[in-house]
């Protein structure tokens, strides 16, 4: 597959991010509610795509939810309860970096839930999502699909990159051994939860840049946003400052300018 050039990628990403800002303003002004679920294999590129979606957006409108492992108290709650608390209010976009689908994936494969808990999830999840849609929340679900060979290449790269070694958690390393188990779990999950009201959209993520652009373009196509006219901002001249004498600059403690030693 021919990969997009860096120049073309940066230009298209910049264009799409401008559209995302327009989308954000439309969501804010109309009170639309959007919940976006990102799921997929480890090292499939979900985090990078989420970062490109959110980096130009207002964090008060577009928020990322990445919940840690449940506490003992949360384990005793209704399974969906801790996720419900993070669902969008009017004028909000909530991105779930992993979601309630943990039960159908890692919990199922790693034995963190019982067979009955798993079966109940498969029964109740479609109804839960239909309920969200009936309540007026637009639910969008993405599955990032990466090949066995590409996932292994990315794992190997993380071994030598000090900034990415934290991504190789014990859970990641264990999941690497269970490729087939995760494939079966994903297929079973799709068979129960790929519903008309909230279908799964699969993103081919073997090429990260392609995956990011394809996902963002698709996301924009699903939401019927329009550009909101904004009042023109005018920066007026500052009024003259009178009667104020600043304290000596030497009274302040500055961060050392270590970069100057590198010139």
Q: Is residue 42 scored above 90 in pLDDT?
A: no
Give the C-alpha separation, 237 to 240, whole Å.
9
In the prediction, which pLDDT does 263 show?
A: 63
In the prediction, which pLDDT does 173 show?
A: 76
For 95-142, how does the pLDDT look when each residue is reduced to its tens digit (9 = 90+)? 999 999 999 999 999 999 999 999 999 999 999 999 999 999 999 999
Q: Which of 96, 10, 101 is nearest to 46 (CA)?
A: 96
Rounded to 10 degrees, what is the CA torsion of 60, 37, 102, 109? Answer: -150
Q: Which segment of 30-34, 50-54, 158-162 scores lowest on mean pLDDT?
A: 158-162
Q: Are 101 and 39 in contact (CB under 8 A)?
A: yes
DSSP H or E stretch at residue 148: helix 148-160
Q: Is residue 174 scored above 80 in pLDDT?
A: no
66/173: higher pLDDT: 66
In the prediction, which pLDDT does 251 show?
A: 92
In the prediction, which pLDDT does 177 show?
A: 84
In the prediction, which pLDDT does 137 show?
A: 98
Q: Which of 6, 5, 34, 39 is nearest to 20 (CA)?
A: 34
In the prediction, which pLDDT does 165 show?
A: 82
For 202-245, how does the pLDDT look when each residue is reduced to its tens digit (9 = 90+)? 999 999 999 999 999 999 999 999 999 888 889 999 888 888 88
Rounded to 10 degrees, what is the CA torsion of 13, 14, 17, 21? Answer: -170
In the prediction, which pLDDT does 89 show?
A: 98
- Characterize the bridge pairing of strands 33-40 and 200-204: unpaired
Give the C-alpha separation, 95 to 225, whole Å.
18
What number of residues does the chain have? 263
C-alpha distances in Å from residue 261, one per residue of 256, 257, 258: 11, 8, 6
Strand residue runs (E) in 3-91 = 33-40, 62-65
Q: What is the pTM of this model?
A: 0.91
Q: Is residue 22 scored above 80 in pLDDT?
A: yes
């Amino acid at each position: 597959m021919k990969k997009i050039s860096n120049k073309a990628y940066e230009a298209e990403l910049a264009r799409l991010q401008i559209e995302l800002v327009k989308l954000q303003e439309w969501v804010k002004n109309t009170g639309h509610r959007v919940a976006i679920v990102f799921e997929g294999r480890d090292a499939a590129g979900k985090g990078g795509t989420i970062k490109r979606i959110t980096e130009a957006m207002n964090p008060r409108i577009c928020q990322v939810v990445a919940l840690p492992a449940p506490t003992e108290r949360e384990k005793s709650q209704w399974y969906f309860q801790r996720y419900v608390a993070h669902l969008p209010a009017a004028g909000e976009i909530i991105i779930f970096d992993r979601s309630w689908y943990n039960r159908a994936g890692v919990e199922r494969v790693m034995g963190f839930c019982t067979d009955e808990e798993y079966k109940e999830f498969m029964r109740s999840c479609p109804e839960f999502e239909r309920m969200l849609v009936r309540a007026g929340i637009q639910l969008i679900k993405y599955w990032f699909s990466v090949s066995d060979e590409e996932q292994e290449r990315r794992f190997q790269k993380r071994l030598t990159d000090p900034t990415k070694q934290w991504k190789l958690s014990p859970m990641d390393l264990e999941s690497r051994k269970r490729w087939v188990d995760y494939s079966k779990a994903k297929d079973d999950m799709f068979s129960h939860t790929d519903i008309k009201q909230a279908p799964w959209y699969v993103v081919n993520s073997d090429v990260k840049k392609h995956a990011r652009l394809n996902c963002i373009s698709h996301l924009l196509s699903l939401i019927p946003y329009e550009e909101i006219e904004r009042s023109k901002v005018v920066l007026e001249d500052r009024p003259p400052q009178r009667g104020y004498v600043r304290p000596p600059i030497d009274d302040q403690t500055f961060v050392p300018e270590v970069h100057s030693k590198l010139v």
